[in-house]
């Protein structure tokens, strides 16, 4: 029986089908250490790391003795040196489908929370005298009638657009390739150049993968273009924003607020962000529901099952 190693102790329900066909080994604690993985990998046929677990050359060298597939638990795979894996003949896959709806759901939640100042008011109302009640106190912004600018109009961006339309928002987007006329009509969306989008939108949502081209896609120059009432939401990858520039923009009032699920140096968060009332923070929580975690596990399992059956219908990324 072929053997599958998991880097992290995950919910077992999603791996039920995999366990029928493979020996699946979970760590007894939350995760295996790096040294433990390097020692264990030569005895396994497949490896499932979580999206935050670095799989570098040293680990891949250990894996290459037997591992044929690395089925990443998550859609992002910048934790894996996929080019070196390809050189070693190791297939790398990801799990794009299960993350679409929950990530869009959280992006909308961050938009609403930042616009209506929900976390700030929730925190202050618990403290006696923490806030002042009144008709003109604790004012936020409405999303109805506002313009949402989506950077990265892939499946997550489109899922967010669908939700934003239900909130009565207007959709503009920036993408390397224009959507089909039918899709643009579905989302009532207009494609703009990046600078035009940034300068005109009321809410900017980042939904693009992290690449060399998108690193610091939003920096000081772009933040200065935005409306002073604008809100920026990032559920993509932290380094898509220059975090130091974002702190400056929030402190200086170049923009009104931010909703962040990802950070440039996570799990470390720039201390200034922790001190601001106009920032809503989540701990890289885009897919953190029980339903989604189990669905990601099933998807990662299917990649392994299909690979060893000799099938091509896997989500290969290298």
CA 98, CA 188: separation in Å to the nearest integer? 25
- Report, as an integer, the average pLDDT of 56-76: 95
Structure tokens at 99: 């993350």
pLDDT at 26: 96
For 50-57, what is the mean pLDDT? 87
Task: Look up residue 221 and give its two tokens.
Answer: 């120059």
When pLDDT is cut at 50, 70 and 90, the band that residue 53 belongs to is confident
* 205 HSE (CA, 13 A, CB side): 32
Question: Is CATH 3.10.20.340 correct for 99-281?
Answer: no
Instruction: Determine the average pLDDT of the residues in 117-124.
Output: 94
- Containing 70, the helix (H) or strand (E) segment is strand 69-71
Mean pLDDT across the stretch 120-133?
A: 93
Q: What is the mean pLDDT of the chain?
A: 96
Give the mean model confidence (pLDDT) for residues 112-141.
Answer: 94
DSSP 49-67: -BTTS-B-HHHHHHHTTT-
Quote the pLDDT of residue 75. Answer: 86
Residue 52 reports pLDDT greater than 80: no
pLDDT of residue 252: 97
Domain 3-94+289-308 fold is Rossmann fold (3.40.50)
Q: Which residues on adjacent β-strands are paired with residue 149? A: 172, 204
- Report the relative pairing of strands 203-206 and 231-234 from DSSP bridges: parallel
Could you tell me the CA-to-CA distances from 136 to 22, 44, 49, 74, 133 in Å, in that order?
62, 63, 50, 44, 8
Dihedral-angle region of residue 200 (phi above 0 means left; psi in -120 to 50 means alpha; beta otherwise): alpha
Short-list 223, 215, 208, 201, CA closest to 176: 208
Instruction: Examine domains 3-94+289-308 and 99-281 and report if their fold is the same.
Output: yes
Question: At 296, which helix (H) or strand (E)?
Answer: helix 290-308
Cβ of 91: how many Cβ atoms within 10 Å? 20
Catalytic amino acids?
Answer: 237, 266, 284
Distance CA 114, CA 112 (A): 6
The more confidently predicted of residues 107 and 211 is 107
Dihedral class, residue 146 (left if φ above 0, else alpha if ψ from -120 to 50, else beta)? beta
Q: Domain residue spans in the chain?
A: 3-94+289-308, 99-281
pLDDT of the residue at 76: 82
User: CB within 8 A of 83, min separation 6: which ones?
Assistant: 318
């Amino acid at each position: 029986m072929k053997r599958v190693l998991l880097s992290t102790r995950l919910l077992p329900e999603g791996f039920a089908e995999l366990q029928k066909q493979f020996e699946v080994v979970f760590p007894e604690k939350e995760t295996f250490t790096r040294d433990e993985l390097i020692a264990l990998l030569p005895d396994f046929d497949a490896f499932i790391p979580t999206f935050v677990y670095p799989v570098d050359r040293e680990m891949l060298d250990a894996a290459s003795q037997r591992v044929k597939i690395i089925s990443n638990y998550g859609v992002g795979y910048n934790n894996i040196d996929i080019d070196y894996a390809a050189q070693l003949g190791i297939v790398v896959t990801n799990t794009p489908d299960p993350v679409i709806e929950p990530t869009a759901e959280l992006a909308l939640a961050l938009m609403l929370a930042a616009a209506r100042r929900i976390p700030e008011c929730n925190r202050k109302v618990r403290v006696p005298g923490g806030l002042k009640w009144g008709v003109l106190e604790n004012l936020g912004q409405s999303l109805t009638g506002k313009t949402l600018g989506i950077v990265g109009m892939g499946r997550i961006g489109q899922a967010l657009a669908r939700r934003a339309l239900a909130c009565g928002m207007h959709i503009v987007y920036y993408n390397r390739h224009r959507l089909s006329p039918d899709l643009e009509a579905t989302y009532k969306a207009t494609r703009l150049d990046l600078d035009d989008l940034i300068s005109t939108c009321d809410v900017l949502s980042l939904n693009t993968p992290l690449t060399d081209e998108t690193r610091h896609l939003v920096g000081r120059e772009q933040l200065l273009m935005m409306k002073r009432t604008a809100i920026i939401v990032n559920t993509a990858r932290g380094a898509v924003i220059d975090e130091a520039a974002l702190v400056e923009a929030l402190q200086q009032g170049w923009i009104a607020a931010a909703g962040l699920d990802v950070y440039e140096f996570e799990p470390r968060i720039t201390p200034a962000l922790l001190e601001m009332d106009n920032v809503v923070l989540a701990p890289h929580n885009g897919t953190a529901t029980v339903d989604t975690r189990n669905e990601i596990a099933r998807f990662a399992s299917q990649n392994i099952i299909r690979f060893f059956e000799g099938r091509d219908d896997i989500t290969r990324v290298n």
